[in-house]
Amino acid sequence: MTQWIPVLKGLATYIPGLYTVMARRKIARSGDAAYYYELWIKHLSLLWASGMRSMPKSMAEFGPGQSLGLGIAALLSGVGHYYALDVVLFESPDKSLAMLDAMIAMFHRRAGISRPHTPSFDQYLDANRFPSHILTDERLAESLAPERIALIRAALMQRADKHSTVSVQYIAPWHDNDALPNNSIDVIISHTVMEYVVDLDNIYKTCSGWLNVNGWMSHQIDFSSHDITHAWNGTWAYSNSAWKMVTGKRPYFLNRQPCSQHISVINQSGFDIRCAIQNKRTDGLSRHQLNRAWQSLSDDDIQCAGLFVQAQKRADATLNY
């Protein structure tokens, strides 16, 4: 079942200049203010449903991609300090400021989220599909006050006073577990990033290290082939050596780790899982169509196209795993 076009595309990444053009075209297609606003509302509402009961003071995000939009939405909701960590540098200050202005308007009118989400998600929103039980009028009056917006604007332009109650730090590329101090962050978020991270053990332990005790993490993980193959789970049709060719010289690529592996590593990294919502699909490749290396996956993994997982750092989590 190996398809060869993905292999050829992978090999093409070795041609100087070609990959940059391919990547740029992809980047130009994604993300507007509404997209990031909705991502934030989704992570926040589910964190609240999982038990988080105060607005985090500090938040880190892995893999913001081409925009700091999710972090900007968090700052406008009352988060004070935002750290964005990516392996590739994407964002420009001009785009952030445009995103900020668009989002301020959305928060002022309490814009409801419009994208189709799982029906069960509606229970966490009001009739206008806005989380008014979390983003109350009182909370938003404070977080959207003109003097606070000025602080957010200055932080996005890297002109914030170092003692400011609002700060933004964009660290790209990041590789070092010391990028942030241990026990310093209230919440860590990622959206369709963990499926790319090569060393899951390291990333979840890093999360555990950086988070304050009882701090939260919230990750949307997409196990699909991201349209690289026809079948949504077609990445498991490749042997490890063929997959190296598909990966080519890309700076990051799908790690092909299944749902159960994420759950297991999170459990071993000092977390209690509070929410694990799976997106199941039965239309993909069946077990006998997978490469031998992946045929021992459980049925649950073979059918799991996505996982929304939220976990809380245990009080007894140690930094010495």
- Comparison of 31 and 93: residue with beta carbon closer to ligand SAM: 31
71 contributes a contact to ligand SAM by CB under 6 A = no
CB of 63 to ligand SAM, least distance (A): 3
Cβ-based neighbour number of residue 245 at 10 Å: 17
Residue type for 178, please? Answer: D
107 contributes a contact to ligand SAM by CB under 6 A = no
179 contributes a contact to ligand SAM by CB under 6 A = no
63 contributes a contact to ligand SAM by CB under 6 A = yes
* One residue of 111, 134, 151, 197 binding ligand SAM per CB under 6 A: 197
CB of 162 to ligand SAM, least distance (A): 25
CB of 13 to ligand SAM, least distance (A): 15
Separation CA 55–CA 312 (nearest Å): 15
- Comparison of 137 and 227: residue with beta carbon closer to ligand SAM: 227
CB of 311 to ligand SAM, least distance (A): 18
23 contributes a contact to ligand SAM by CB under 6 A = no
Find tokens 């989400």 and name the residue.
117
Parallel, antiparallel or unpaired: strands 185-191 and 58-62: parallel
CB of 55 to ligand SAM, least distance (A): 21
- 31 SS3 class: coil
Kindly give, in sequence order, each residue whose CB lies less than 8 Å from that of residue 154, ignoring residues fewer than 6 positions away. Answer: 160, 161, 164, 166
DSSP string for 45-87: HHHHHHT--S--SEEEEE--TT--HHHHHHHHHT--EEEEE-S
Parallel, antiparallel or unpaired: strands 211-222 and 271-280: unpaired
The site for ligand SAM (CB under 6 A) is made up of 30-31, 62-65, 85-88, 191-193, 196-197, 252
